[in-house]
Homo-oligomer: A and B are copies of this chain.
Amino acid sequence: MPYPSKTTPETIIQTAITLLEQHGNQALSTRVLAEACGIKAPSLYKYFPDRASLEQGIAAVAAEQLENNIIQACQHLEPKKALYQAAQTYLEYAKNHSELYDLLMQPQPSEGAQKALWNTMLQIIAPITKNPDDTANTVFIWALLHGYATLQRNGSFGASGASNALLVGLEAWLRGL
């Protein structure tokens, strides 16, 4: 609660993200969020009509972060290198911001949030297959990355790292294209 203490939708979302990454979405109640913002719970409703709209705002920020990370990491790389770099960036984001990533990938986020991600993936795939709207291969790569991110987070791979599994698989896929 810095001294200027200006409450805006943006500051609320930022505070929410901080708490979210620490304790998960389910632990983020209106009361604790309001307290962290220096106000009381009912005051939040002056900025967001309900909880769903707050979560949409959070998801939009998360999508933008992930998108920017990928675009920045892949600039000026040749197509295949860009794919490897995008995959690594994607997985790192999902790992380092796992609760935020979970929220972004929930069944009903804002439609635009996931759409932005889709377009980002498409831009990575298109130069490789030389198809500007390669739906099938974009689906394939996104499914692979999302599945790997969540299974790794859940500990489903066991203690063994499985760290290079994705790289090996991607190489095989590229060879077989």
* Closest-CB distance, A111 to chain B (whole angstroms): 9
Where chain A touches its partner, the secondary structure class is helix
* Closest-CB distance, A167 to chain B (whole angstroms): 9
Interchain CB contact under 8 A, B165 and A171: no
* Closest-CB distance, A169 to chain B (whole angstroms): 3
The interface bits of chain A over 151-176 (1 if a CB of B lies within 8 angstroms of the residue's CB, else 0) are 10111111010101110110111111
* Closest-CB distance, A53 to chain B (whole angstroms): 19
* Closest-CB distance, A134 to chain B (whole angstroms): 10
Measured as residues with beta carbon below 8 angstroms from the partner, the interface class of chain A is 35 or more
Number of copies: 2
Chain B minimum-CB-distance residue to A129 = B172
The CA-CA distance from A97 to B58 in the complex, in Å, is: 29
Q: Which residues of B contact A177 (CB under 8 A)?
A: 172, 176
Chain B minimum-CB-distance residue to A109 = B154
The CA-CA distance from A157 to B136 in the complex, in Å, is: 10
A106-B154 CB under 8 A given contacts A135-B162, A143-B148: yes
A162 is contacted by which of B139, B145, B157, B158 (Cβ under 8 Å)? B139
Interchain CB contact under 8 A, B165 and A172: no
A146 is contacted by which of B106, B142, B150, B160 (Cβ under 8 Å)? B150
